[in-house]
Structure formats: structure tokens, C-alpha cells
């Protein structure tokens, strides 16, 4: 009777599990490959400043991230900045001169977000350039859609208002608090509601 030959391991058992170091490296790359270190550091430093004070220093921290900001613009608190774009942030977000940005403001610019001169964003304003198409009932979040947002000069946006992708707000327009803007706002108009509509003149 012949002796059995050496056992040949099957393919599954031949696979070597990656080391803990290799797995941690893969996870780090997956989670932090697109992390913007300058954005992270400047945001952390700016949040150490007292709210409503040191506005010039806070504005310099926001500038240091690479965003184009005009002279005289003040940030009363550090905005939450979200951007899925991998290029320079200055290509996507431009803020004009003499603007006032309140507390708890969210600026999301997967597409171009342009804010004119002498614009006032009250506390809690949210501006979005990215959304999802409505998919079938089995999966409502469809493909991502990006549309630029443009805010003209001398615009006032009230507290907790939301500006949705594709919105264009004309010069000297007013968006009242808690409104949701999903379309164009004519120059000089005052809008309110969900969705925002022009107020009727009495």
C-alpha cells in the first residue's frame, strides 16, 4: 500500500489574512484619503474663539482654508463647511465684501456657491448645492445631482432659512426666517414660506 503524498492546501486555506497593520492602513486610506487637513485644523482653531468676537481672526482662519472672501466680511461663528469636490475650495465658494455670516451656518458646495457683496446670513442658515434625485419606492435616494447657487448683492437671508440647489437670489432680495428657497427669487423681492413665495404687496 503506497504512502499518501504531501497534502496540498486548497486555495481558501492558502490565503493569508492581512496583518492588523495592513488592515488599519486600508481603513485609514478609506476614511481619510480625502480629508482636508488645512480645513480640519483651521476649523478647530476657529471654534476655540468666543462666538460673536474675534470676527476678523475667524475670517482669516476661513481664508486660510483657501476660500475667496472679500474685504470686510465677518464670521460671527465658524460655519460648517461641507464639500465633496476634490479640487481647490476657492473654485467652488466665493464670498463678497462686507458680508456678515451668523452662527450655525452650513455652507455645502459640491457645486459652485457664489455669495455677493453686503450679504447677511442670519443664524442657522443652510445653503446646499447637492441633492439626490427621487428614486423608486424601493430606494428613494437616487443619483446625486449638483446645481450651483447664486446669491446677489445686498441680500438678507433670515434665521434658519434653507437655500436649495439651483436657487438664484437676485440683488436686494429678502428671504424671511424659516423659509425654503428652491427656485429663483427676483431682485428686490421678499419671499417667505415652504417653498418660499413672494409676499403680496398690500
| Residue pLDDT, tens place only, 75-131 | 988 888 887 766 667 678 899 999 999 999 999 888 899 999 999 999 999 999 987
Contact 176, 156 (CB under 8 A): no
Name the domain count of the chain: 1
Taking the whole predicted model, whether its pTM rises above 0.75 is answered as no
The closest of 92, 88, 170, 91 to 130, measured between CA atoms, is 92
Residue 132 annotated as catalytic: yes
> 181 lies in a domain?
yes
Name 188's Cβ contacts closer than 8 Å, sequence gap at least 6: 170, 171, 172, 173
Q: CATH code at 34?
A: 2.160.10.10
> 7 lies in a domain?
no
* Burial track 161-190 (b if 16+ CB lie within 10 A, e otherwise): bbbbbbbbbbebbbbbeebbbeeebeeebb
> 134 lies in a domain?
yes
Question: What number of other Cβ atoms are within 10 A of residue 2's Cβ?
Answer: 4
User: How far, CA to CA in Å, does 83 sit from each of 24, 34, 128?
Assistant: 26, 10, 10
Cα–Cα distance, 12 to 103 (Å, whole number): 56
**Domain hosting residue 43, numbered range:** 19-198
In what helix (H) or strand (E) does residue 95 lie, and over which residues does it extend?
strand 93-95
Mean pLDDT, the chain, whole residue set: 82
pLDDT mean over 18-37: 65
User: How far, CA to CA in Å, does 195 sit from each of 25, 128, 162, 179?
Assistant: 46, 15, 10, 7
> 118 lies in a domain?
yes
> 11 lies in a domain?
no
> 176 lies in a domain?
yes
Cα–Cα distance, 152 to 145 (Å, whole number): 23
Q: Is 38 left (phi over 0), alpha (psi -120 to 50) or beta?
A: alpha
pLDDT of residue 109: 82
Annotated active-site residue in 132, 140, 142, 195: 132
> 4 lies in a domain?
no
202 pLDDT exceeds 50?
no
> 82 lies in a domain?
yes
Amino acid at each position: 500500500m503506497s504512502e499518501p503524498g504531501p497534502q496540498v492546501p486548497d486555495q481558501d486555506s492558502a490565503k493569508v489574512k492581512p496583518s492588523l497593520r495592513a488592515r488599519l492602513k486600508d481603513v485609514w486610506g478609506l476614511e481619510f484619503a480625502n480629508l482636508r487637513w488645512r480645513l480640519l485644523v483651521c476649523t478647530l482653531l476657529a471654534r476655540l474663539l468666543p462666538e460673536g468676537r474675534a470676527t476678523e481672526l475667524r475670517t482669516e482662519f476661513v481664508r486660510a482654508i483657501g476660500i475667496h472672501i472679500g474685504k470686510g466680511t465677518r464670521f460671527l461663528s465658524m460655519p460648517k463647511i461641507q464639500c465633496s469636490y476634490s479640487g481647490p475650495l476657492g473654485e467652488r465658494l466665493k464670498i463678497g465684501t462686507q458680508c456678515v455670516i451668523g452662527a450655525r451656518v452650513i455652507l455645502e458646495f459640491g457645486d459652485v456657491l457664489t455669495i455677493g457683496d453686503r450679504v447677511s446670513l442670519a443664524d442657522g442658515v443652510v445653503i446646499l448645492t447637492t441633492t439626490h434625485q427621487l428614486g423608486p419606492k424601493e430606494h428613494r435616494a437616487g443619483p446625486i445631482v449638483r446645481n450651483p447657487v447664486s446669491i446677489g448683492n445686498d441680500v438678507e437671508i433670515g434665521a434658519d432659512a434653507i437655500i436649495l440647489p439651483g436657487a438664484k437670489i437676485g440683488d436686494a432680495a429678502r428671504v424671511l426666517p424659516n423659509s425654503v428657497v428652491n427656485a429663483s427669487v427676483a431682485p428686490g423681492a421678499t419671499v417667505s414660506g415652504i417653498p418660499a413665495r413672494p409676499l403680496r404687496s398690500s
